[in-house]
Structure formats: C-alpha cells, structure tokens
Structure 1
Amino acid sequence: MAPCVAVVWWAFPENLPLWRSIAIVAAWAGSGLLVANIVLMVREPHVARLLGGLESMYRWHHRSGMLAYLLLLCHPLALALDGWIEAPRFAWLSLAPWTQSWPQWLGWGALLLLMFGLATTFAARLPYRRWRFFHFALGLGVLLGLAHVYALLGGANIILLLIVATALAMGWRLIAGDLGVAAHPYRVAQVAHQPGEMIEVLLVPHASALAVSPGQFVLVAFGDGPHYRGCGEYHPFTVSGIEADGGLRLGIKALGPCSQRIQNLEPDVLAHLQGPFGIFLNDAPSRPQLWVAGGIGITPFMAALRAQHRIQPTTLIYLFRGADDAAFLDELYALANTDPQFELLADATGKGLPDFTGLLARVSQITNRDVNICGPMPMVDALMPHLRQLGVASDAIHFERFDFR
C-alpha cells in the first residue's frame, strides 16, 4: 500500500478546483491499484512465498480490484460534480461519451470492462473455465485504462512503463500459469480409491521433482489416457504424502465436474504440476499441537504424519459424516498406535455440525497449543467461537481459505 500512498501524494494537483483534484487523484490511485492487482494475479511460487502465500495474494488481489474499481468510478463522478458547480449542463457533457474524443472513449471502455469482470467474479455458479475467460476482461480493462491515461498525458514514460509491466504480468500468467509452459511433468503411477468419493493419486516425476513440504498444495492438469480424458485446466490439490524419490500423493475428492471426472483417472496418464503453494503447517512446531480436519481437509495432516513422528504432543480431531466417508481412517489408527506423541479423536458427525464442546473438552491444555484447521469454511466458522471461548489466542489459530475465484 505504501507505493499507492506515494503515488497519491505525488499526483495531488495544486491550484485546481477541489472536485477536479479529487478526480485526478482517484484516477491515479485506481490505476496504481489496478497494476498491483494484475501483479498479484501472477501464479509464481517464488512470488507467492515472498508475499505470504498464494491465498494471501489472492485475498489482496480481490481487495485491490474492488477498491480500484470504486476509485475509478469516482473519477468521472468527481469530474461531473466539478462541471455541475459551473453549470448543470457541463456535468452532463462530462458524462456523455458521444460528446468526447477517443481518449475518453478508452476510459469508458475500461470502466465497462472492469464492471463486467467484477460482475463475473461474484457469479459463483458460473463454470470455472468460462469464469476464468471472463475474468481476463479485467486485465483488458486495465490496459485500456492505462492507454486512456497515456493518451491524455501525451505519452508519459511512467504510464508506458506501467502498460509494459501489466502486459508482461498478464502474458506470464497466461503462458506460464494457464497454459502451463513452466509446469513440471509427472506420471500417474497409482490410483487408490478411498471412502467417500475420493481417490489418492501417486505421481512420479519425469524430470526434476518439486520441493514440497507437508501442508502445501499443487496445481495439477491431468492429460489424456487410453480410457480417460483430462479436464484441460489446472486445479489445486493438497499433497497427502511425499515419497523419498520425489513422488507425490494427492488426495482428490469429487467436489465439482473436473474432480468428479478425475475419479476415473488411470495409471500412466501424464500430469503437469505447478507449485508448490501454501504456508499451512509451514513452521516447525514449538508447542503442542491441535489439528482439526473435516472431510478432505485430512490430506495436509496425512502428509505431515507420514513424513515423520510428531516432535510435539499432537491431537488430531478428524470429522467425517460416516464410516463410508472417512478416508485414511485405518492408517490414522495405525499411526496413533505407533507414535506416542500422536492422539486421534475420530468423530462421525452425520449431516449435522460436530459437538465441538464435547470434542474440545477431551483436549488437554488447549490454551497452550497451536491450532491448525483444515476443512470446509462452515466448519471453520462454527469452530472459531468455541476456541475463543476456551481462551485460545487468535495468533495460535491457523487456517487457509482455498478460494480461487
């Protein structure tokens, strides 16, 4: 945010009417936020680690996009208010595109594309591939908006630099991210079916292996096989196991059209991986641990448990609807029997919410533990008040929101 504040301070004009000054500052601040928004869209592991993880980047991507749109919406409105002070008809003329020249048309086109792109952002039921295509309208809107400023300023070098930076960021995201030019090739070595419409896939590297830690996830695009057709797009899956030879195990539950198709995956299918991403379970535990997993949320904990015995007392609360929905349950019981530092509390919740009061009462010294949660957000939201009521500090509670829209 500091660069944005610096741009606003630099851009604030002198000896101009108030509303015209506000319009200019809103345009500069909105343009700066849009460029930052595009940079945050880049799906590069090194950049993600530098900025606190991909989940944090996407959260700020959404926030900066919304704020930029509001600021840019204020730009023509402030110009209209400036004209209104002189005469009402001047306010209308400042808002009527057909009375203006082509640089202003670029600005209106940018605003319309941003409006369209943001509208599709909130269309939760839109298929992912179509949503992603429409979302690129935001990027085109950014380029149009910068071209609008460039034309009005008569070719300012700083705007040209921002246009080039935006185009490079969009190109890198499209070529390296969506098309997967920089992805690592792997091969499906094994597909094991788990309870609850879930499979665990073992992938072995064809070239250099990704350096993955327990708790991280990768973006995977599966190719075609003799009897399998891939989705043709990248989806995030959490690593459930890391092999000594660089192989990765992924837990994949049928939650959408693509993951439903992946349930029919077969060996020898080629896969392309990007990553790794995520900072969940990233720190070496310095205190006793409480892990809470719901459904497919068990996968990062499986990777950690399979990697080594616990160095701190660790209690895992594993929540599932029924025995036919409890992936890895037998292995978890076996791990609990062989690791004296690991305690398993497995609970079949049915279709209702878990009895968090009773479950947490079975956890000793809960206020002295770090709490790591992975599961559906309704489960996380229901658990948080119970933890706070028991006195667990906010900075001791860790979870990630895996929302890629």
Structure 2
Amino acid sequence: MASVMSALRPLAIPLLALAVPLGFAVWAFPEGLSGIRTAAIVAGWLGCGLLLVSLLLMLREPRLAAWLGGLERMYLWHHRTGVVAYMLLLAHPLLLAANAFADSPARAWETLAPAAESWPVWSGWLALVLLMLGLALTFMRRLPYRAWRWLHAALGAAVLIGLYHLILLGIDEPVAPILTVAALILGWRAVRGDWGLAARPYVVASAHRVAEGVVEIALRPLGDPLVVAPGQFILTAFFKGPDFRGCGEFHPFTVSAVEPDDVLRIGVKALGDCTRRIQSIGPGVAARVLGGFGSFLAEPHATRQFWFAGGIGVTPFLGLLRNGGLIAPTTLLYLYHTEDDAAFLPELRAIAAATPLLTLQAVATARGRPDLDRLLPDAPHLIGCECYLCGPPSLVARLKRILRQRGVTPRHIHFENFDLR
C-alpha cells in the first residue's frame, strides 16, 4: 500500500489541478449560447478553479505537504496554476469582446473599456489587475522579502474580489460556497502559517559561528517537539530576546542535526536583512517553528550516490552524515567561495576521514563561476548513481542539464532549492 501511495504522489497535484477546474466548467457549462461566448464563460470557470487550487497549494501544513510531494513542489505548482489561471481569466473578457464584435466594433470596445458599466463589471477588472500585479511580483526576486510577501497578498484579494464579482452579477451558485472555501483557505494560511498558530514554541539554546556569515543555532522545544528528520527543513521565526531585536518572519532553514533531547540544529547563512540579523542571535531568544518539510533525503538508496552541495546547501547532507545515514558508497562534491565561508568544512573532513563509504571533494571557487564540466564525474562514473543536488537554483539548473547530458535520467536526479517565494 505504501509503495502504491508513493507511486501516486507525483500525480496528486496534476490530478487536482485538472479535476477542480474541469469540475467547475462541467457544472456551469452554458447552453444555447454562441461558441465564442461559451468559450468565454468556460475560460472564466477554468481560471476560477485553478485559482482555488493555487490557494490550496500555498498552505504550510506538513501532512498536506507530505501527501502532495513536498512544500517546494506545492509552491512550484502554486506558481504554475496561478499563471495559467491568469491567462484563462484574461481570455474571459477578450472572448466576450470578440463575441460582441459580431454585433458591432463599438460594442466590443465597450466590453473591454466599460466606462459606463456598473461596479459588478468593474470589480471583475479590479480582480484581474490585482491578479496581474501579484503574478508580476512573483518574478521580482530582488524585491525585499517583507515587501514581496505583503504585495503578493494581492493575489488573495484578487481571488475574493473576482468571486464576489460573480455574485454581484447574480451568479450565486456555486459561487457563494466557492467564495467561502477560498476565504477559509486564505484565513487558514494567515492564522496558522503567517501568524504562526500552527507553530510550536522553541527557544534558542545556543548559537555559534561555523563560517563567515554562517551561524548554527540549537533550538530547544518548550512543549511537544516537532517530528523532524535530519535533512528536512523547518520554517522558523525568531522574536525579541537578549541583545536581539527579533525577526518575526518565517524563513526556511535546513535541519543540520536532531539531538536525543529533541533539540534541533539549523544552519543560517546571511543572505538577506533577516538572516543577517540572525547572525548576532544568542541563547534565550524565543522562536516559533513549523515543520518538518521536505523529502530530499528521506528514502536512502543502496546504490552508489553522488551528492552536490553549493554553499549552505551542504546542510542537509551534514544532517544525514551526523545521523550516520550512509548505506552506500557516496561522493560529496562541496563548492564554496573560500575556506573562511565554507560552513562545517572541518567537521565534514573529520567525518570523511572516519567514514570509509564517504569521499569528500571540497573545492574553493574564489567567487568565480565554477567549471562544472570539469568538476562533475564523467558519464561512466555516473551510471547507476543516485544524484542529490542542493544549492542556489541557477547552479542546480546547470547541474541537472550536465547530468542529463551525461546519461543520468531525471528519476535519478533529486534536488531541493528551498525557494519558497
């Protein structure tokens, strides 16, 4: 049974993304209308259904994430369904205008620029504009996280206004129940995820610097501990404490160790305002923790393994090594800029010296673009190998491309970017 569920898990989100919008379209399929107007209405319902799926996929619930293949995969499909939903909803007024064009060009223009129309029509346009704004911000990677998060909330407002637009037009069923479900999902995410109601209370037990701009923090539970495995990641928010002014936003951090007394260790690299502030954290700071998430290293393979770590991406591999999780010959290629900012490098060298199954290749790139073609094993050494990649998204993308060129099939390439925007 477990193997069947594991095999079906990759299909869970695609099936959900098909079933919900198609169900809406079939239920509300119009009769007796022209082909173009029918297409306009169907496009609107399909977009509505995909938006509801997109909302569901942004929930931060460990059990839901496990059922759907992981939180990172959920966020990837959250973006995909949101983009397709926007395209369908944009097609909705364009098709209505095309239908009106058969009567007169003036009527078509009034459909696209309804200056004389009432609020019910304008509310639909407002929802579309907010949706476009929210999606545009998705691709603005350099926007500060706090600003991005609040502006991205325009997507939630767009969904609610768009559904209310249908009610204003007199379409109560099934719009009112759908609007209620959408509001519940948004409220659930805000209360349990953003405000941390689902998070468990922890406190910083210790913090020590492991490299330039990298600190390892030990978190001690103040109540029932989370069920977390080494190599998974948790969402953590730190609050005000002794000599620390707080950083209350939830950020993903990889678990570098799970100690016998349920203390969690995480590695934090200074990558933004919040993580730079965390570098000065000390014992006694209160924290809230959600998790654990991710299945990156959850299923050990008895075949040879190749691990690639870029920078702080070494943390999940360290978590597994500290747990004594090697069961097959493994090569770890660890890239970093200089030894000063190579997190956990002395410990990794000590583990490699004491672990016959582990071969460590630690390479300093001196802040240059690494020559991956030279550093990666050649094709014969990758045959039958399970490849695990963790690092910056652009670097992981290059690695996947080279590995595929060397004959590694996608099902043998496992990766995690921890990119939750």
Q: 1:342 to 1:23 in 2, by over 3 A?
A: same
**Partner-residue secondary structure (3-state), 2:253:** strand
1:309 touches 1:341 (CA, 8 Å); kept in 2?
no
Q: 1:64 to 1:309 in 2, by over 3 A?
A: closer
Equivalent in 225, 239, 244 of residue 223 of structure 1: 239
Equivalent in 36, 40, 43 of residue 19 of structure 1: 36
For the pair 1:105 / 2:122, whether they are aligned, the reply is yes
**Partner-residue secondary structure (3-state), 1:148:** helix
Equivalent in 289, 308, 311 of residue 292 of structure 1: 308
Alpha-carbon shift at residue 154 of structure 1 (Å): 4.2
For the pair 1:132 / 2:157, whether they are aligned, the reply is no
Q: 1:116 to 1:389 in 2, by over 3 A?
A: closer
2:296 touches 2:416 (CA, 8 Å); kept in 1?
yes
**Partner-residue secondary structure (3-state), 2:295:** coil
**Partner-residue secondary structure (3-state), 1:86:** coil
Equivalent in 98, 113, 123 of residue 81 of structure 1: 98
- Cα deviations by residue, 1:368-404 (Å, 9 ceiling, x for unpaired): 2100011112322332333223322221111023222
2:365 corresponds to which residue?
349
For the pair 1:242 / 2:242, whether they are aligned, the reply is no
- Cα deviations by residue, 1:218-253 (Å, 9 ceiling, x for unpaired): 111111112111122111111111111111110001
2:194 corresponds to which residue?
178
Alpha-carbon shift at residue 136 of structure 1 (Å): 1.2
Q: 1:366 to 1:87 in 2, by over 3 A?
A: same
**Partner-residue secondary structure (3-state), 1:310:** coil
- The percent identity for this pair of structures is 50
Matched residues in 2 for 1:384 and 1:221: separation?
32
Amino acid at match of 2:152: H
2:306 touches 2:331 (CA, 8 Å); kept in 1?
yes
1:143 corresponds to which residue?
160
1:379 corresponds to which residue?
395
Alpha-carbon shift at residue 32 of structure 1 (Å): 0.8
Q: 1:288 to 1:109 in 2, by over 3 A?
A: same
Matched residues in 1 for 2:249 and 2:241: separation?
16
1:2 corresponds to which residue?
19
2:72 touches 2:419 (CA, 8 Å); kept in 1?
yes
For the pair 1:319 / 2:368, whether they are aligned, the reply is no
Matched residues in 1 for 2:290 and 2:232: separation?
12
Matched residues in 1 for 2:207 and 2:286: separation?
13
Amino acid at match of 1:129: R
- Cα deviations by residue, 1:283-305 (Å, 9 ceiling, x for unpaired): 12231111111110010001000
Q: 1:101 to 1:265 in 2, by over 3 A?
A: same
Matched residues in 2 for 1:317 and 1:202: separation?
26
2:21 touches 2:48 (CA, 8 Å); kept in 1?
no
- Which has the larger displacement, 97-106 or 300-309? 97-106
- Cα deviations by residue, 1:112-160 (Å, 9 ceiling, x for unpaired): 221222232223222211211111111111111111122324421x211
Amino acid at match of 2:394: P
Matched residues in 2 for 1:155 and 1:4: separation?
18
For the pair 1:60 / 2:60, whether they are aligned, the reply is no
**Partner-residue secondary structure (3-state), 2:282:** coil
Matched residues in 1 for 2:352 and 2:142: separation?
41
1:146 touches 1:159 (CA, 8 Å); kept in 2?
yes
Matched residues in 1 for 2:165 and 2:276: separation?
45
Alpha-carbon shift at residue 179 of structure 1 (Å): 0.7
- Which has the larger displacement, 334-343 or 2-11? 2-11
1:225 touches 1:268 (CA, 8 Å); kept in 2?
yes
Matched residues in 1 for 2:398 and 2:181: separation?
43
Gaps of 5+ in 1: none
- Cα deviations by residue, 1:12-53 (Å, 9 ceiling, x for unpaired): 323211211111111111111111111112111111111111
**Partner-residue secondary structure (3-state), 2:219:** strand
Equivalent in 267, 287, 312 of residue 283 of structure 2: 267
Matched residues in 2 for 1:393 and 1:33: separation?
31
Q: TM-score, normalised by structure 2?
A: 0.92
Matched residues in 2 for 1:87 and 1:364: separation?
67
1:152 corresponds to which residue?
169
- Cα deviations by residue, 1:205-226 (Å, 9 ceiling, x for unpaired): 1111111112211111111112
2:378 touches 2:406 (CA, 8 Å); kept in 1?
no
- Cα deviations by residue, 1:336-388 (Å, 9 ceiling, x for unpaired): 12222111111112222334344334898321210001111232233233322
For the pair 1:402 / 2:418, whether they are aligned, the reply is yes
**Partner-residue secondary structure (3-state), 2:289:** strand
Equivalent in 342, 345, 355 of residue 329 of structure 1: 345
Matched residues in 1 for 2:31 and 2:379: separation?
63
**Partner-residue secondary structure (3-state), 1:4:** helix
- Cα deviations by residue, 1:262-307 (Å, 9 ceiling, x for unpaired): 0000111111101111111111223111111111001000100001
Matched residues in 2 for 1:401 and 1:330: separation?
24
- Cα deviations by residue, 1:61-115 (Å, 9 ceiling, x for unpaired): 1111111111111111111111110111211222233322332122122112212
1:161 corresponds to which residue?
177
Q: CA RMSD in A?
A: 1.7
Q: 1:235 to 1:365 in 2, by over 3 A?
A: same
